[in-house]
Amino acid sequence: MNGMKRIAVVGASLAGLRAVEFIRRAKFEGEVVLIGEEKHRPYDRPPLSKEVIRGEADQERLALRRKSYDELNVELKLGQRAQSLDSGAGEILLQSGEVVPYDGLIIATGSEVRVLPNQPSLQGIHVLRTLDDALAIRAALQRRARVAVIGAGFIGAEVAASARQLGLEVTMIEALETPFAQSLGPRLGRILQGAHERRGVRVLCGRRVDRFGGGHLVESVWLDDGSRVDCDLVVVGIGVTPSVSWLDGSEVDVEDGVRCDETLATNVPGVVAAGDVASWYNPLFEERMRVEHWTNAVEQARHAVSTLLAAPGEAKPFESVPMFWSDQFDIKIQAAGKPKPGDELTIARRGPGDEKLIALYSRAGRVVGAVAFNQPPKLVQLRMLIGKRGGLDEALKIVDS
Ligand SMILES: Cc1cc2nc3c(=O)[nH]c(=O)nc-3n(C[C@H](O)[C@H](O)[C@H](O)COP(=O)(O)OP(=O)(O)OC[C@H]3O[C@@H](n4cnc5c(N)ncnc54)[C@H](O)[C@@H]3O)c2cc1C
């Protein structure tokens, strides 16, 4: 197996843990070390903005691995940040000063939240990425806070829905013309805005945060049109950036994440990347992309391991149809593909109240994206069709079947 004796995986979350599991499944018998900045064992993030902040799931249910870690024969270094990489020497320097040598390296450091340019450190202003963030938000929701969510992307909208499900007063503020305008386009954005409004969320679009009011605790958000939203809890959900600062000064190419080729290999031999942090050329869509969703992290972990362990010249391209889900109130939104502004949008089925919608995005007759509300089996079929470069006519047949 490439003569490798020791593989290091940096980032002990979804992609990192799955990579360790795939390494052992591939019968690699050398040493494996998993390094993670968080002190918790790898846990699942999607429930954080849903069951966890609503108080419906405890920490144990989030564990990404229920079986023993002993079976994996992995050295766990948790609560340890990788500070820098010397790929020439094959060494990772941890913040503690410890040096971890490796022959093969998997970078799975994921992403970290963006904050507003002038975000003050008032109590009551939160972001949501980690379990600790979620527990702090849950505690505030239990105090019956009035909630302002800044950013109507998926995390923001899930937080807004969860808080509303707890019966709280919720305002969601978005700078663009509709929620989800970038990911789904304004037409579907408006439909989802309506779904939130009908369930009692106040949605303010086309407005930016000017400043926050309050002394020690946050009391209000002032918007650029001069209006004010009174609140006790603010959740800022304005997106993430790839966690690559520890690679500064290393030889690994970084450009909107770790720059990989189509096999998930970086420019440095013996170094691959997977998950939110990896930017790669996806031959299926003939473009470079980086995907910040759960399924991608698992699929890339498997593929990055196979690339790392492949004989020279044998690594295969990672051709993938990105997909994600988001749960908001009683709507399970699922999407597959990689639509772009300018693609043709066909709303193929729309039940009463939009709870059974399917939307298709096509480009020159080829279906490149699909969104389904509450119809998982259809989405699975449509994802497969997108992977086969299928046409809009075939997609419509799936919708009607
Ligand atoms: C609240 C929330 C809800 C979500 N809901 C959904 C959903 O419904 N559907 C969906 O498809 N996706 C969802 N996602 C996205 C999904 O969870 C991510 O795509 C997935 O976690 C990516 O996994 P990852 O392992 O690549 O990165 P991450 O989960 O970001 O993990 C990276 C790990 O690396 C660690 N790390 C970073 N830098 C260093 C360093 N220098 N040294 C050591 N460790 C380091 C980090 O602390 C982190 O633990 C959600 C995300 C969040 C935050």
Q: Which CATH number covers residue 196?
A: 3.50.50.60
Is residue 82 lining ligand 1, measured as CB closer than 6 Å?
yes
Bridge partners of residue 289, in order along the sequence = 280
Q: Is the CB of 46 under 6 A from ligand 1?
A: yes
Q: What is the CATH number of the domain that holds 371?
A: 3.30.390.30
Tell me, using a 6 A CB cutoff, whether residue 35 lines ligand 1. Answer: yes
Residues 285, 190: one domain? no
The CB of 195 under 6 Å from ligand 1? The reply is no
Q: Does ligand 1 have an atom closer than 6 angstroms to the CB of 77?
A: no
Alpha-carbon torsion (397, 399, 400, 401), positive or negative: positive
Q: Which of 183, 243, 327 most suits a substitution to test ligand 1, by most atoms within 8 Å of the C-beta?
A: 243
Domain boundary among 211, 238, 265: 238
- pLDDT at position 291, please? 98
Domain membership flag for residue 322: no
What mean pLDDT do residues 146-170 have? 98
Residue 167: beta bridge partners?
none
* Interval between CA 292 and ligand 1 midpoint (Å): 8
Residue at 1 is within a domain = no
Residues 99 and 123 in one domain: no
Distance CA 87, CA 95 (A): 17
- On whether both 231 and 142 belong to a single domain, the answer is yes
Quick check: CB of 94 below 6 Å from ligand 1?
no
Distance 366 CA to ligand 1 centre (A): 32
Let me know if residue 367 belongs to a domain. yes
What value does the mean pLDDT take over residues 39-45?
Answer: 97
Provide the pLDDT for residue 292.
Answer: 97
Q: Based on the fold, state whether residues 132 and 214 are members of the same structural domain.
A: yes
Counted domains in the chain: 3
Residue range 327-345: mean pLDDT, rounded: 95
Query: Is the Cβ atom of 188 under 6 angstroms away from ligand 1?
Result: no
Strands (E), 109-174: 111-113, 125-126, 147-150, 170-174
Q: Which of ligand 1's atoms lies nearest the C-alpha of 48?
A: 1
**DSSP codes, 24-35:** HHTT--SEEEEE
Is residue 316 in a domain?
Answer: no
The residue segments making up the domain with residue 221 are 115-238
Q: Binning pLDDT at 50, 70 and 90, where does residue 1 land? A: low
Do 354 and 383 lie in one domain? The reply is: yes
Q: Are residues 229 and 119 in the same domain?
A: yes
| Ligand 1 pocket check for 133: Cβ under 6 Å | no
Judge whether 125 lies within some domain.
yes
- Residue of the CA atom closest to atom 9 of ligand 1: 325
The residue out of 238, 265, 296 marking a domain boundary is 238
38 lines ligand 1 (CB under 6 A): yes
State which H helix or E strand residue 86 sits in.
strand 82-86
Is 384 inside a domain boundary? yes
Question: Based on the domain organization, do 300 and 357 belong to the same domain?
Answer: no
Least confident residue range of 130-144, 213-227, 353-367: 353-367
Q: Give the lowest-confidence range in 12-21, 137-146, 180-189, 348-357.
A: 348-357
Could you tell me the distance, in angstroms and rounded to a whole number, from the CA of residue 386 to the centre of ligand 1? 26
A 10 A CB-CB count for 130 gives: 18
- Number of the ligand 1 atom closest to the C-alpha atom of 94: 42
Question: Do 276 and 172 sit in the same domain of this protein?
Answer: no
Q: Among 273, 276, 232, which Cα is nearest to 253's? A: 273
Mean pLDDT across 301-319 = 97
State pLDDT tens for residues 103-120: 999 999 999 999 999 899
Mean pLDDT of all residues in 357-380: 96
Q: Please tell me the distance between residue 63's alpha carbon and the centre of ligand 1 in angstroms.
A: 14
Contacts for 20 with CB less than 8 Å, ≥ 6 apart = 9, 32, 34, 72, 74
What's the pLDDT tens digit per position in 45-94? 999 999 999 999 988 899 999 999 999 999 999 999 999 999 999 999 99
Regarding whether 223 and 370 lie in a shared domain, the answer is no
Cα dist from 124 to 115, 141, 145, 148, 266, whole Å: 14, 11, 9, 10, 40
Mean of pLDDT values over 169-197: 95
Ligand 1 centroid from CA 393, angstroms:
36
pLDDT band at 355 (very low <50, low <70, confident <90, very high): confident
User: Cα(196)–Cα(326) distance, rounded to whole angstroms?
Assistant: 14
Closest ligand 1 atom number to CA of residue 81: 42
Closest CA to 81 of 124, 36, 139, 20: 36
Residues 108 and 122 in one domain: no
Domain co-membership, 121 together with 230: yes
Share of the chain above pLDDT 90, in %: 94
Is 115 exposed, middle or buried (CB count within 10 Å of its CB: 0-12, 13-18, 19+)?
exposed
Mean pLDDT of the region 232-248: 97
Return mean pLDDT, the chain: 96
* pLDDT above 60 for 231: yes
For residues 231 and 264, give the distance between their C-alpha atoms in angstroms, rounded to a whole number. 44
Query: What is the model's pLDDT at position 254?
Result: 98
Please compute the mean of the pLDDT values over residues 233-256 and round it to a whole number: 97
Which one of 212, 238, 264 terminates a domain? 238
In a domain, 319, yes or no: no
Say if 184 falls within a structural domain. yes
Contacts of 354 (CB under 8 A, 6+ apart): 191, 194, 195, 331, 373
- Which residue among 39, 77, 292, 294 is best mutated to probe the pocket of ligand 1, counting the most ligand atoms within 8 A of its Cβ? 294
Give the integer Cα–Cα distance in Å for 148 and 127.
12
Instruction: Tell me how far the alpha carbon of residue 267 lies from the centroid of ligand 1, in angstroms.
Output: 24
Atom in ligand 1 nearest the alpha carbon of residue 325: 9
* 29 — pLDDT class (breaks 50, 70, 90): very high
Q: In the chain, how many H helices and how many E strands?
A: 9, 26
**d(Cα 48, Cα 196) in Å, to the nearest integer?**
19
Residue 349's pLDDT band (cuts 50, 70, 90): confident
Is residue 90 within 6 Å of ligand 1 at its C-beta? no
Q: Give yes or no: residues 227 and 119 share one domain.
A: yes
State phi, psi for 314 to the nearest 5 degrees.
-100, -5
CA-closest candidate to residue 290, choices 155, 132, 111, 131: 111
pLDDT at residue 388 greater than cutoff 70? yes
